Amino acid sequence: VGTSLEEAKAILHRYRIEKLPLIDDEGNLRGLITYKDILKKLDFPNAATDGRGRLLVGAAVGVGQELDDRLEMLLDVGVDAVAVDTAHGHSAGVLLAIRRIKMIAPDLPVLAGNVVTAEGVDALVDAGADVIKIGVGAGSICTTRIVAGSGVPQITAVAECAAAGAARGVPVIADGGIKYSGDIVKALAAGANAVMLGSLLAGLEEAPGELVIYEGRRFKEYRGMGSMGAMKGRAADRYATAQSSGDRAGMVGKLVPEGIEGQVPFKGSLSDYVYQLMGGLRSGMGYVGAADLAELRAKARFTRITGAGLLESHPHSVLITKEAPNYQVNGR
């Protein structure tokens, strides 16, 4: 309320206090600045925040009967964006859900997916989606391409859908298939505006999976949204299964999972790992000679390689005795 960050920091330092109340002209308490708030602002200057300095928050919604109630609660607490989160985004239920959300909250950004074709992108944009998520079956814990026989190789899907999104002025997110920082470079070069990471972050300290010890090494549990464990909960709605309501726990034998449950190596803290990912992205852009993402897309050239070329791309002809912080054998 009229107090800058530097002024607040000076006051806290001068009076040796840790909290600074903020009041308006009428003496009403309107906020509180703590020394930790200032440190966070200094340590994370690029954090995505709203006009009041709060972190931006998005939430997923399904396409079931709970959509209206969940959306109302999210709007009440000030959600900044919602994602219509389904495995098959080019479907009538998703299109209806997007239209419903836009009818209730026209200015609320809506992320929708997943799709892998230009037709899917156009359908979602026509329904009102502001951001499109690309990828079917590309995730490390996804079995959709094997179980359902459906999907498109991720780099192909990203290139096709990014072109369609660019034609409509809508950004796309590459969701799945990212095993190394180099894959982030390739996805962005193919036209994606951003990437979505799952297994790459699942082994970090901040990830929700339980930490376990296996053969003397630390791992974190990780499961797909289409796995049996997840589908016994709310995730059945995401895969539009016939048993997506009612007593899911009692219908385990009738669930048809499209994902697995497993473990990924523990990787430490998020900040250290993201630093490595960002370093890989910067390096990749440097090799291309790109100063920004637009230049990366314009200058990047893709070359088809053989299986021998893929093996050559990884460390070979040597026994790895010490793992690098940004490379694990077989992406694990």
Mean pLDDT calculated for residue range 252-269 = 85
Q: How many domains does the chain have?
A: 3
Q: Kindly state whether residues 203 and 311 are assigned to the same domain.
A: yes
**pLDDT tens across 162-192, in order?**
999 999 999 999 999 999 999 999 999 999 9
Q: Kindly state whether residues 251 and 148 are assigned to the same domain.
A: no
CATH number at residue 296: 3.20.20.70
Q: Which of 21-30, 128-137, 257-266 has the lowest mean pLDDT?
A: 21-30
Q: Kindly state whether residues 228 and 131 are assigned to the same domain.
A: no
The confidence score (pLDDT) of residue 243 equals 45
Structural domain of residue 314, as residue ranges? 58-208+268-331
Q: Kindly state whether residues 297 and 317 are assigned to the same domain.
A: yes
Q: Kindly state whether residues 247 and 141 are assigned to the same domain.
A: no
Q: Kindly state whether residues 197 and 78 are assigned to the same domain.
A: yes
**pLDDT tens across 262-283, in order?**
999 999 999 999 999 999 999 9
Q: Kindly state whether residues 144 and 18 are assigned to the same domain.
A: no
**pLDDT tens across 289-329, in order?**
999 999 999 999 999 999 999 999 999 999 999 889 999 87
Q: Kindly state whether residues 199 and 273 are assigned to the same domain.
A: yes
Evaluated on CA atoms 84, 269, 45, 280, the torsion sign reads negative
Q: Please tell me which residue in 100, 223, 238, 297 is annotated as part of the active site.
A: 238
Q: Is the pLDDT of residue 56 over 90?
A: yes
Phi-psi region of 148 (alpha: psi -120 to 50; beta: other; left: phi over 0): alpha
Q: Does the annotation count 142 as an active-site position?
A: yes
Q: Is the pLDDT of residue 199 over 90?
A: yes
Last residue of a domain, one of 263, 282, 304: 263
Q: Taking the model in full, what pTM does it have?
A: 0.86
Q: At 27, list the tokens.
A: 């003496």
Q: Does the annotation count 238 as an active-site position?
A: yes
Q: Kindly state whether residues 107 and 234 are assigned to the same domain.
A: no
Q: Kindly state whether residues 273 and 132 are assigned to the same domain.
A: yes
Is 226 among the domain residues? yes
Q: At 68, list the tokens.
A: 């209206």
The confidence score (pLDDT) of residue 250 equals 54
Q: Kindly state whether residues 179 and 70 are assigned to the same domain.
A: yes
CB 176 within 8 A of CB 133: no
- Residue 311 CA to chain centroid, in angstroms? 29
Q: Please tell me which residue in 142, 161, 248, 297 is annotated as part of the active site.
A: 142
pLDDT band at 233 (very low <50, low <70, confident <90, very high): low
